[in-house]
Chain A
Amino acid sequence: MNPLPWLVVLPLMTALVIFLLPTRWRAPGSLLAAVFLSLISIYTLVEVIRLGILVHALAGYAAPLGIRLRADGFTAVMAVLTALVTMFCAVQAAAYLRGKPEEEGFWPLLWFMWAALNSIWLSTDLFNLYVGVELLGLTAVGLVALSGNAQSLAAAMRYLLAALLGSLSYLIGVALIYGELGSLALSDLALHGIGLPTVLIALVMMTFGLVLKTALFPLHGWLPPAHGGALTPVSALLSALVIKASLYILMRLWMTLDVAVLPVYLAWILGLMGSGAVLWGGWMALRQNRLKHLVAYSTVAQVGYLFLFFPLVTGTAATAAVLAWDATMLMLISHALAKAGMFLAAGNLVFAIGSPRIADLAGVCRFRPFSLLSFGVAGVSLAGLPPSGGFNAKWLLLQSTLASGQWVWLPVLFIGGLLSAAYVIKVLGHSFIEGPLRDHFRTPPLTQEFSAFILASASLVLGFVSQVPLTWLRIGGPFAGGG
């Protein structure tokens, strides 16, 4: 049986079913379905490892008319990553949202989000990607707005505007390409699109839209209030997965087109914006006095590293490009795990101290060490300190920088790493304070603490098994023969 359609159909069906269930059944029902979907995702990965690229034409219609789903290593790994992160966020949310009014809306939206993500991972043409992106943006905005207070509504509004503007820009690009080439399949774009000015303009429009949705500096303004103010499991999902979806499309576009003929300056602009994100995001994270906003700015910074991919693969030697691919993939995975873990841990800490402020963390290390440990472990990976997936990614990025001779990124890597270490230490330092302090802290449920810990420590374990996902990611990818 071909698992690909189920990756999209199952979450859509679940979303509808969940919608009909009474509120108290939504969490257990979702967890049950999440286990199924996780198994299907893992099965997809196994099949991809076994057989190579999987293709499925929905309802039997072939390419130009029907919807074609395609899974290579990148797709399968993203699907499994989505399953892993969503699964633990759902476990956390089941405890975190119990009895809260937001519980009702959260579960259906979660399922729509999962469906949108999986459809993006699987899509092969620009329009289907657009549909996925639009659905994803709307569900994400809905999730942010769930808390219902004035602040989060304002944040959701900004997010909505950014998301719509991004989709619009992307859609204009898609329309231009359709007008020029009469096809929307990524593969056709690769064959015929080279050298046409309209295609270039379309590419710029699409890139702008996707970059806005990924919150790349200086278009990141909507992210910190949205991610920082949302419910904890929502923040984790948005930072770990949702912003990666638009980046994924951008990378697909970039990799499908022959990287040698893409405009190098565009890649460099993305790289420079990424550097700005690393520095500015890190600096702003350091200056936050609310815990979850600090973590949100850390996302702004970390996204920047992922954009160094573009200058490093465009017009550089094959060795540098392969290293950059490996580095970015590893960075993407470890950031997803670490950031989800960190947001969940931050939520647990906020719950324990009953205040969103970092200054109120004093003494939490003695009384709630486990939550803090998860935060610290995630921080190690985010700061790119060994042993962690984040460190290995940074090492590869460093090697790629050296191999390509693009020395300009070196200071960015170093200052960025030190900044992220600094903001993690800022949180830890406050938690270690002993003295005349209160000794009453609320206890988060154990499932909440374990969800955070498992995700965070997964990013650490990734530091020892990095080669495994990297091998999978090469399947059917542009660097299949590399290394």
Chain B
Amino acid sequence: MDGQTLLPVAVVSTSFLAAIGIFLLREHRHRLRGIFNLTAALVKLALVVWMQFGVLAGIPYEFRFPLVQGVHFILRADALGIMFSGLSSVLWLFTTIYAIGYLEDSPNRSRFFGFFSLCVTSTVGIALAGNLFTFFLFYELLTLSTYPLVVHRGTEKALRAGRVYLIYTLCGGAVLLLGVAGLHGLVGDIEFAKATVLPSLAPEYSPLLIVLFMLLIAGLGVKAALLPVHGWLPIAMVAPAPVSALLHAVAVVKAGAFGIVRVVHDVYGVEFAWRLGVLEPLGWLAGATILYGSVRALSQNDLKRRLAFSTVSQVSYVVLGLCLFSPVALAGGLVHLVHQGLMKITLFFCAGNYAETLGVHHVDELDGTGRRMPATSIAFSIGAFGMIGVPPLAGFVTKWYLGIGALEAGAGWVIVVLVASSILNAAYFLPILHRIWFRPQVSPWPEEQFLSHRDTHPWLLLPPLITAGFCIAAAVFAGLTFSPLHWAEVVVTRGGLP
């Protein structure tokens, strides 16, 4: 056991140990819990950064042991995994800060932060999982650890949302398990590496492989909120703001999208999947989801619900990029894993700030909030412009790469989808911005808490400002090493696409 073996384990277990520690603390030890939580988040971030250097230098970090007959438990750091675990550890840090501020004086904080840490453990586990089995392990653990967060408020509505959430995700998990088990029965343990095993199978297995692909995507599509199975996402909005933020930005939705990337890129291989003819329909589905989510977002008055439908739409960009069979589009899709996370978490933080500070939950109550909460509103605007795809913001980079990739691959319809979706994004975000900045306040705030003279509580304000900063930085410094785009390109080049 040396550093190379233990580092991936350490990265996963920092938050796990934090969770255990938090569960053991008594409810009222708030300060100690906060210290615990933040220390763990910082340690995890430091470890991930350390591993990033190692991975770029080509050091293989791998931990494995046999679990049962023919199956290994594998944690391994590759470029894609590092990208995703980097995103989760950065956002865990800021969401923790935010949640400490947000949940001040509310009950059940021990439970909340404990499961929150477990949730991050599973996300990082998903990122570093070295084979489909380990991936599935953490994928289901994620479902289990998010349930207490979704029902956190304990109201009738929250419990109903939790039930819907579990029905969707557990059924999705069962379908996924069938796919994973089927592949395993066919070729044995499936490690995430340059996909060589499945393409080398005899052609008569192709129909079976197509069926298994469909099972895997159907299972993963539930969490990624692909079109027919996206229904849980808007309902799960009853969760507290930090939970929604994390769910949408890195945890659940992204786990689904990341899983699809793993299946297409590392299990089937983009080229083989293309030859099987499964990528094109998946691309259409992604395109349809993009447009559908945006159209539904237009008519939502509840701010968080509008953001939720926007997530439905945005996550499919990742899938779309994957399906175009072009390296540039692939990079665009992969980088959107990170970019969407940064932008969406900013927006949810801000929505939480409006709700917590002023009691504003609906779009039509937002009039004049820009004057009352300027800093929050600036962060929100950056996130919104990023989603629309205005340069120089993160969303622009994604759309640019996707567009170029689509042209390269000769898929003209994608350009139409991109343009239509951007127009729709503008159509549901710009009215919000107009209300925030240009309309005077008409009625008193629904439920104002005096948290600060200007804007809101610093613990609530700092995280969105920083993540908004990241949205800009990710685009402006896209050319530098360690930018999300750089990582996406590393993944693409190491993956060996034509």
Contact = CB atoms under 8 A, between A and B. Distances in A.
A15 interface: no
Contacts of B69: 322-323, 326, 396, 399, 467, 470, 483
B345 to A, nearest CB: 26
A338 to B, nearest CB: 15
Interface in A350-405: 365-366, 369, 373, 380, 385-387, 391-392, 395-396, 398-399, 402-403
B170 A432 contact: no
A323 B133 CA distance: 17
Interface string B140-151: 110110011001
Interface stretch (A102-110, A150-158, A169-177, A414-422): A414-422
Contacts of A463: 67
B307 to A, nearest CB: 25
Interface size class on chain B is 35 or more
A188 interface: no
A358 B96 CA distance: 34
A434 B151 CA distance: 10
Given A366-B107, A386-B141, A429-B159, A417 B174 contact: yes
A434 B154 contact: yes
A380 to B, nearest CB: 6
Interface residues of A, number: 38
Interface string A254-280: 000000000000000000000000000
Nearest to A326: B69
Contacts of A380: 144
B159 A399 contact: no
Contact of B185 (A373, A391, A402, A414): A402
A429 B162 contact: yes
Contacts of A425: 147, 163, 166
A373 B23 contact: yes
A448 interface: no
Interface in B264-317: none
Contact of A403 (B66, B143, B174, B185): B185
Contacts of A395: 68, 71, 133, 177, 181
A385 B140 contact: yes
A326 B136 CA distance: 21
Most B CB contacts (10 A, CB to CB) among A373, A380, A402 go to A402
B193 interface: no
A380 B147 CA distance: 13
A337 to B, nearest CB: 16
A139 to B, nearest CB: 35
Contacts of B173: 385
A466 B65 CA distance: 11
B137 A434 contact: no
Contact of A398 (B140, B141, B154, B177): B177
B55 to A, nearest CB: 25
B372 interface: no
Contact of A435 (B68, B155, B177): B155
B392 interface: no
B170 A421 contact: yes
Contacts of A237: none
A330 B155 contact: no
A433 interface: yes
Nearest to A369: B111
A464 interface: yes
Given A398-B181, A429-B159, 15 more contacts: A326-B69, A366-B111, A385-B143, A385-B144, A387-B141, A395-B68, A399-B69, A428-B147, A432-B154, A432-B158, A432-B159, A434-B108, A464-B73, A466-B67, A467-B66
17 contacts: A330-B68, A385-B144, A385-B173, A386-B136, A386-B141, A387-B137, A395-B133, A396-B68, A421-B166, A425-B147, A429-B159, A434-B108, A434-B153, A434-B154, A464-B67, A466-B67, A470-B69
Interface of B: 23, 66-71, 73, 107-108, 110-111, 133, 136-137, 140-141, 143-144, 147-148, 151, 153-155, 158-159, 162-163, 166, 170-171, 173-174, 177-178, 181-182, 184-185
